[in-house]
Chain A
Amino acid sequence: MGAQDVASGECDGSGTAVQDVLAEVLSVEPLPLPYYALHLKVPAAFGVSAPGQFVMAMASPSELRLKPFLRRAFSVFDQEPLEGATNGERHIQLFGKIIGPGTSSLAECRPGDEVAVLGPLGVGFTLPSRGRAALVAGGVGSAALLLLQRALSERSVEHDFLYGGRSTVDLAASVTFAELARRSGGRYLPSTEDGSTGHHGLITEVLAEGLAESRYQHVFTCGPEGLMRAVARLAAAHDCPGQAALETAMGCGYGACLGCAVQMVNGEIQLCCKHGPVFDLAEVSW
């Protein structure tokens, strides 16, 4: 990990035009199981992702697999120019947790393999220009928050990184998150349910403390639905605005199947892949 800073898209959260490209696997970086980072070389045509945007990825696209059959959604974890690139190719990273056929098929890639990557997709985070932010990650949900950290740093927005997991192993890539948070002037606040690292308990307990001290003017979160729901309640209770990157099941990722419905408070249905994946915490019907 530890890619250097890159320009991270525009601040309204939408990025460059969508492309469907064949990426080359540079390496699969093993992290403590079940986590991994997939390093990909994408052609120059592949756009720069805004924080919160995602891709639809599929290993060995030339063969039809029965399982996984569809592509899987991954946040663009990191991006940077590729050293020694001859045609403007760039390096993007996906951060995965093996939970099923899709995430394991990408973890099993070898250097030189092809991965089909469609993106950048969706509307990412709307960036604040002042105030202090809490970034609340649950496990692999942290994948959506690194580009956000970089963008906040560029805008000199101080942020704390609150990283929750069952155990220390679930705080993968914590060094990178911690360093960026500290460099912004903020804190790195981990928690584990088994008490092996940081606060012994839930990460929302750490957030509640900060909110009670009026420490935060913005909350950003990505993780399991239960976590994001709890974050939404806490933020609402403290009148703190916030955004969540949702992980709704997706069929296509580009607005064609209408499968990724998100129920909104106002009764509307929105599409996670098109109107999101980042939504205002207060607008989602949790």
Chain B
Amino acid sequence: MSPNTQPGSTGGEVSSATDGRGALDLSVRLGDLELQNPILTASGTFGYGLEFAPLTTLEQFGGLVTKGLSLAPRPGNPPPRICETRGGMLNSIGLQNIGIHAFLDDVLPGLADYPSQVIVNLFGTAQADYVALAELVDAQAGIAAVELNVSCPNVKKGGIEFGHDPKMLSGLVSAVRSATSKPVIVKLSPNVTSPAELAKSARDAGADMISAINTIIGMSIDTWSRRPRLHTVRGGLSGPAIKPIALRIVYDVVNAVDCPVIAIGGVEDVDDVLEFLIAGASAVQVGTALFRDPQRGPSLVDELESRLAEQGYSSVSDIIGSIVLPTPRDEEHP
């Protein structure tokens, strides 16, 4: 903790620095989506939020992104579904979820008590599924935005086709765009040659924001049994191991589109958060880190606040996109 901040101060409210520089503003504005701070949960790593209220301080998150929701409940893939890898993990959960109706009826009302914005992560196997989902959430006051998962590597017929084909993606995004007035976030796959191109297609079709990245397809083998360590053989890699790749993609996307970008991938500590913000992301989602440490979200908010205060910032927005690129002179001395 820097001496300039109050330990335990809640991130979102404007909290006072004691050195006379004034208040440090952690809030960020992503188009119509206002967040009390730039730290969100990543889809699929924090259930539907409420289950973990006893384990963390939900109200300290800028936003809560739900597990991917489909029209009907899904049982997911057979076990084994996860395995640890160096500095990360592979998963092939297969988008197990309770279905949108159970979420709206049983979970959403309980989330209303928290100041964190609720973002629903949606997926389907056909464009009509996404449209129907978007229509269902449109009237729900407790939902701040929708995030379209067009990038899950773990279902044979899932959103992934949309995430790989610019034409299909723009068709999908414009259909969803006309089905809801909520901000639409499109979550990109890293498993393509140029995520930035897909970001452009999504943006041109009406996406309000881009989030990136989903997991990177990977594999692991148990050398004792010689069996793949996941039932599905391949799975999605997440955790610190993927951060440099995520950072590169986020940076490319920021440069390709004129809308806010939400960074995802391997966030572990406050430096990771800052790297993404400096690269131009307006907010970050924390995923796998929550498994090791369910309190990681709130502690990141506190650390971000003290680090920004220590560096003399008065607002988190001042650091967003502040990357200092090499000048031609620097390039002469590699």
Contacts and interface: CB of A to CB of B under 8 A. Distances in A.
A156 B307 CA distance: 59
B268 A257 contact: no
Contact of A254 (B52, B75, B91): B52
B254 interface: no
Interface stretch (A169-177, A185-193, A261-269): A261-269
A256 B93 contact: no
Given A257-B93, A261-B79, A68 B84 contact: yes
B171 to A, nearest CB: 30
A261 B83 CA distance: 12
A251 B295 contact: no
B45 A257 contact: yes
A64 B81 contact: no
Interface in B278-313: 290-295
A69 B86 contact: yes
A249 B54 contact: no
A255 interface: yes
B47 A69 contact: no
A67 B89 CA distance: 11
By size class, the interface of chain B is 35 or more
At the interface, is chain A mostly helix, strand, loop or mixed? loop
A259 to B, nearest CB: 3
A20 interface: yes
A2 to B, nearest CB: 33
B89 A70 contact: yes
B52 A261 contact: no
Given A256-B51, A269-B96, A263 B78 contact: yes
Contacts of A61: 292-293
Given A18-B54, A258-B96, A269-B76, A58 B82 contact: no
Contact of A20 (B44, B55, B86): B55
Contacts of B268: 64
A255 B44 CA distance: 11
Interface in A64-121: 64, 66-71, 116, 118
A252 interface: yes
Contacts of B87: 66-67, 69
Contact of A256 (B45, B81, B84): B45
B110 interface: no
Given A254-B55, A269-B96, A69 B79 contact: no
B80 interface: yes
B161 interface: no
A71 B292 contact: yes
A6 interface: no
Given A69-B89, A256-B47, A257-B93, A251 B78 contact: no
A111 B55 CA distance: 27
A221 to B, nearest CB: 19
Contacts of A70: 84, 89, 291-292
16 contacts: A61-B292, A64-B240, A67-B84, A69-B86, A118-B55, A249-B83, A251-B82, A251-B291, A252-B291, A252-B294, A256-B46, A257-B93, A258-B67, A258-B76, A259-B81, A259-B91
Given A18-B54, A71-B292, 6 more contacts: A69-B87, A71-B291, A248-B79, A261-B77, A261-B79, A269-B78
Question: What 3 pairs across the A-B complex have the smallest Cβ distances?
Answer: A259-B82, A66-B87, A252-B291
